[in-house]
Structures are given as structure tokens and as C-alpha cells.
Structure 1
Amino acid sequence: MGDISYPTAHTTTIDNSRMRLLNKIKAGEFPLMTFVAIPSVRQAQIVALTGLDGIIIDCEHGHIGDDAMHNSVAAISALGVSPIIRIRGPAHDIIKRALDTGAHGIMVPQINNAEEASQVVQSSKFPPQGVRGQGSAFPAIGHGLTTPEYMKSANETIITFIQIETRAGVENVDAIAAVPGVDCVFIGPNDLAQALLGYTPANGDEPEFVQAIDKIEAAARKHGKWFARMVNNGTTAKEARQRYDTVAITGDTKAIQNWYISEFEVARS
């Protein structure tokens, strides 16, 4: 599980200006993120130039393979934005592969219990905290560091996002949030609604859904972890500022479609 006395993303004193998302969330500045599902270095650059702080490269549900994952991280980090990779599951080799791109963090979906969360932390930290191996020149580049500098700093500057989106995840959220090295508890509202209510999206006022979010927030706050979620637009993001430390505002596929749909409606009206 790792020794709690080690510095984490919450307590690190390392100052690296390249770590935009970490620096803003630590300063309480409510950084903004979005998901990118389309595998293109140009797509990554275009989204990175919109003024956001972090881009979540979606290797779970997106059309992103290994090659696009590497290219996107390089492009995003070079433009001063923090690339986060949402991996497809909590497997050691997948976590290693994602972090070796130079990502500033990982997001791990469908975490059900503390044991799974601990394994994620183990895989994402170099010894003595974890079991991550080193053998790539690439991750240091994404942090603007030499490899020795990266080796010394990565354990306490990479943000580990754990997604709570299953019934078991909600039930065990206190133990999950207690795991040292879990930095941020992230709500996947659509999967959470599907798991709890049997449909998605939630209206947002269903008692079981509201209680689950309250429980997740309480666990995050109790254990001093950041609390985040996905939202649909800037208006809901603004409302979320009172409660959350950071949000991801939808993703590239929806953003493109939504803009075209609304403009075509205007054109035809």
C-alpha cells in the first residue's frame, strides 16, 4: 500500500511549471479539463489551445491506441497543458504503458474496492512506494526534466485519479479514498447513474444518486483527497466550483457534434 509518510501530489514541495493541472489544483484555482476520444496529434493540439488546464486522453472509451496515446501526450505537454490518460482498466502493464508516455496523471475507471485502488498506486509509483519499472526516455520529456530528475519527482507529482462509478465503488468509497497515493476521487456520473438507477443520464435529483455523490464527497474530504467529476457544459462547471476541486467538461466528440447541431438548427430556422 505504500507508507503514508511519503510525499504525494497533495504534499509535494517540488515546483515544476510544466505541471499545470497539479499546480492549479494545489492552489485551489479550479482547473478545467475535457476528454479527447479522437486519435489525432492535431486534435490534441487544437483542444490544448483552448485555454484549459488538463486533457484526459480517453483510452477506455475513446478511439485511442498506443501510437495516438504517445503522440497526444507529447503534443499536449509541449503546449503547456497537462495530459492525463484514462486507461482501460487497473492492470499493471496498462498503467506502466500509460505513464511511460510522460502523462501528468492517470485516471482509472470502475474501481470497486481498496485493494484495487492499492494495486493501482503500487503500479504507478517507483520503488520504494511501488513497483513501477523504469526503462524509457519518454516520460521525462513530458515533464520537461531529465530522466534522473523525473525518477526523483514522479511519485509525488503524478496525479492518480480513481473513478467511482459502480455500486461496489460507492459502498467501499471510504476505504478507497483512504488509500495513500489515491490523489483524486472522480465521479463518472453516467456509469454511476446506470449502476444505481438502471438508466442514464440521471435527472440529478434521484435520492439514491444524490446520496451516492454526498457519500463520495464525504469520503474524499475525510481523507484529504481532491474531488472531481464530469459535467456537460460551462454552466454546470461553474455551479460545480462550489463543491469540486476540478471538473472535466464533456469531450471532443460531443463538443463537435453539439456545435454543428445547434448551428444547423439556427441555419434552418
Structure 2
Amino acid sequence: MAVSPTTTAHTTTVQNPRLRVLNKLRAKETALMTFIAIPSVRHAQIIALTGLDGVIVDCEHGHIGDEQMHNSVSAISALGVSPIIRVRGPAPENLKRALDTGAHGLMIPMINTAEEAQSVVTYSKFPPLGLRGQGSAFPAIGHGLTTPEYMKSANETLLTIVQIETKQGVENVEEIAAVPGVDYLFIGPNDLAQSLLGYAPAKGDEPVFLEAIDKIVAAARKHGKWIGRLVNDGPQAAKAAKTFDSLAITGDTKAITNWYTEQIKCVRE
């Protein structure tokens, strides 16, 4: 089923102050996010209170099942921050379960073709634009709306974020970026480097890697889509903000490990 939305997250006139990441992007301000992999409502709240615009609940690599996915989204959105779910993969049942939490957007890993991107859009949109089903009160709650209000606005306010993180994805990025309803391309630099270079620690300055980054950015700009990527820390984010619309600054597990490692080092050295 082809989806050709006439109004998208880029062009919507819907005003909802709760949609913090979308509002930042539309205002041309850098939207800052991070990944969380630890399944805890209190943990989600603590991360949401740091000043971030969005928190990506990582159901692909994180230790997060359906119950904690729902609980984390509820906790994050209640604090005025946008919950984004990185789903396990593009299967329709994964998209449905994630959307029914009330997430403000979905991030879909390992998108390699325009056909895969089109399928994601189809199963993320309500009819007549897609095949998304409705049967839950929770999505509206996450947006601070009644169910009828949510039904009217969801197709044009939910962020559909596809990850470009393979050699094949880079080869097909022009076609992927052209798919109507794809709002945002997100670069997964670790998997992208592995796909391009093989399993070796990437320095980030390899010509083939930098060329791939440039190609993804150019495709997003050409087709009017937002572009973001993962970075390791604040200084990298400040530098990358000159190029990217949105950035995910590391993830909770790495941040905790790095902080404690540095503090203990101060004592023992």
C-alpha cells in the first residue's frame, strides 16, 4: 500500500507543546537526545530531567521489554520530554506495539532499501494513508490529547526516523530519503563503520566512512528530511551541530561507566 501523506511532520500546522523534539526541529533548533538501555521508570525520569529534548528508549539493543517500554514512555512524556522508541526492527508488529505506548516517534534500525522504508511508513500511518490499527487509549495520553484529537493529528506529528547504518543503506540512501512519510535519517556510525570497514575500531576519519556520512547528509538535504547521528560526548555534539539537525549524545550505560571510571581514576592515580 503506497503512502503519500500530504501533510508531514515537516509541514504540519498542529501545535502541541508536548512534542518537544518535533517542535525543536521545526524551529530549526538542535534537538538533543540520548539512548537508554536500562529498564527502569526512575532511571527514565532521571535521564529526562537532564535538559534533553528527547530520550530514545532502546528496544533494539537495550534490556527493555514491552512493560518497561510502556512505563518509560509514560514517565518521559509526563516530564515534557519526547520519548522516541528504537524498535527491534521494521516488522509491523514491532511498530504497532511501540506506537501504542504513546511514543512521539519511532527509530527503525538497519533500513537498507526504499521498499523497507515504505513499509515502515505504511504501518505507522492510520488509514487512509496507511494500515496502522487503533485500539489503545495510551497513544493519546502520551501526547496529552483525547483519542479523537490524537487520531486526527498522529499521521502528521509522529516522527518516523530511519537509520542508515550499512553499506547497502548508503548505496540506496537517495531512494530511501525520497520516500514520503520518512521524516528523518539517523546515522548509526558504529554499525556503519563496521559495514564499510569490517570489524575494526573505526577512528572516524577514514575516507570511505566520511564519504558515506557526506552522502547521507546530502540525500537528507536534497529531499527535505531532517538528519541526525550518534556522538560520544558534548564537545562532539557541539561540533556536529553545525551539520546535523539533531544529535544523540551517547547512551546511559556508556555515560555511567565513563563517569565512574573517571572519578575513580582521580582517586587512584
When normalised by structure 2's length, the TM-score is: 0.99
Equivalent pairs: percent with the same residue? 71
Structure-1 separation of matches of 2:109 and 2:122: 16
Pairwise CA distance, 1:202: 2.0
Are 1:163 and 2:163 an aligned pair? yes
Matches within 5 A, 1:225-240: 225-240=225-240
Pairwise CA distance, 1:199: 2.9
**Which runs of at least 4 in structure 1 moved beyond 4 Å after TM superposition?**
none
Structure-2 separation of matches of 1:135 and 1:115: 27
8 Å contact from structure 1 (residues 99, 106) kept in 2: yes
Are 1:2 and 2:6 an aligned pair? no
Equivalent in the alignment of 2:79: 79
Query: Structure 1: 5+ residue runs without aligned partners?
Result: none
Secondary structure, in 3 states, of the residue corresponding to 1:33?
strand
8 Å contact from structure 2 (residues 4, 181) kept in 1: no
Q: Deviations over 1:157-206 (max 9, x none)?
A: 00011000111100000000000000000000000000000135421111
Q: Deviations over 1:41-92 (max 9, x none)?
A: 0000000000000000000000000000000000000000000000010000
8 Å contact from structure 1 (residues 229, 244) kept in 2: yes
Equivalent in the alignment of 1:89: 89
Structure-2 separation of matches of 1:25 and 1:52: 13
**CA root-mean-square deviation:** 0.7
Secondary structure, in 3 states, of the residue corresponding to 1:250?
strand
Q: Deviations over 1:80-131 (max 9, x none)?
A: 0000000010000110100000000000000010000000000100011110
Are 1:55 and 2:55 an aligned pair? yes
Are 1:187 and 2:200 an aligned pair? no
8 Å contact from structure 1 (residues 34, 249) kept in 2: yes
Equivalent in the alignment of 1:64: 64
Secondary structure, in 3 states, of the residue corresponding to 1:190?
helix
Are 1:253 and 2:248 an aligned pair? no
Query: Structure 2: 5+ residue runs without aligned partners?
Result: none
Cα 1:200–1:125, aligned 2, differ >3 Å: closer, same or farther?
Answer: farther
Secondary structure, in 3 states, of the residue corresponding to 1:141?
helix
Amino acid at match of 1:17: P
Aligned pair count?
268
Equivalent in the alignment of 1:122: 122
